[in-house]
Structure 1
Amino acid sequence: MRPYLPRYSILFILSAAISFANFGCADPKLSQCKKIIDIANDVATETQNLSDSGSNTDPQAALQVASAFEQAAQAMETLESKDEQLLDYQAGLIQVYHSHSQATRQFVEAYEKKNRGAAEAALKTVREAGNLEQEVVNGINNYCNVN
């Protein structure tokens, strides 16, 4: 007696085998690039939505933005790579996300205490982190050949 496999089981097994074969042949650099870029894109979208593209002045929304940056930093920290250049970019984004988060929290605190000097200092740090973020993202895009 011959074992019976339904047609969909055979198709599933073949699909899985093809997927594993393709995954095994994938360029590790491209895979690692995609993971970094996905986290960067996700946090950019989330923070833009939370801040209503910068028009939301609610301190609680700003704290949610800070939390989103912190979560992105944590997600970035879990990624593993053997590519030194990608590790540098990854470390740069982690630094940027921590800076954004910390400066945003400092800004909210200064805003609530009506401390203009501290608020301006925090905004300067946010701008600097934003500039560094743009440099790192441009570097990743160039390195990973993303248009």
Structure 2
Amino acid sequence: MSILRKYTVIVPLSLSIVLLVTACSDSKASQCQRLIDVVNKGSELIDNNKGQQVTTSLQLSKDLEAVTKQIKELKLKDPKLQEFQSRFVQVFETFSQLIAKAGKALGSAKNAQDSSEGRIKIQKARGEIDTALTAAANAAKQSDDLASQVNKYCSQSK
């Protein structure tokens, strides 16, 4: 094998190894992007399903549980991003629980009979929905604040 032929094989092989190692490194930017992508997916679910019916609300709750699981499963190495990850898990768990609670209350109100017992059921459901919506608004504010912090952190250079 001639020396030129030998280098023709070694150089591309070495370059491939370097590119593979570089591509597999888990930089802060790639970790940020993975976290932001999953969080955006959950936020879009909420935005697209605001004010929907009972079955949609219950499905949204399940979908948010799936997003929460995806956030939990991100393998982030950056300690600050791990902290953000944990906080987003809490926020999306809260959203999921509150939306499920509001959906169930809405379903209860829709199934109430036209009677004094039914009106009591509706009043109770209305209170549960109002409570859930207030708590969801607080969770949304936390989510917005957290997203702002993540964007600020991720835009900083190493």
Q: TM-score, normalised by structure 1?
A: 0.77
Q: Tell me if structure 2 keeps the 8 A contact 1:107–1:123.
A: yes
CA distance in structure 2 between the aligned counterparts of 1:18 and 1:41, rounded to whole angstroms? 32
Structure 1 segment 1-147 matched on structure 2, within 5 A: 17=17, 19-24=19-24, 28-49=27-48, 51=49, 54=50, 56-114=51-109, 115-145=125-155
Structure 2 unaligned segments of length 5 or more: list them: 1-12, 110-124
Q: TM-score, normalised by structure 2?
A: 0.72
Write the deviation string for residues 22-55 of structure 1: whole angstroms up to 9, x where unpaired.
315x562112111100101122223333x1xx3x
Post-superposition shift, 1:18? Answer: 6.1
What is the aligned length?
131
Higher alpha-carbon Rg: 2
Change (3 A) 1:75 1:120: same
Equivalent residue letter for 2:88: L
Moved beyond 6 Å, runs of 4+: none
Q: Tell me if structure 2 keeps the 8 A contact 1:47–1:68.
A: no
Post-superposition shift, 1:63? Answer: 1.5
Structure whose residues are more often helix by fraction: 2
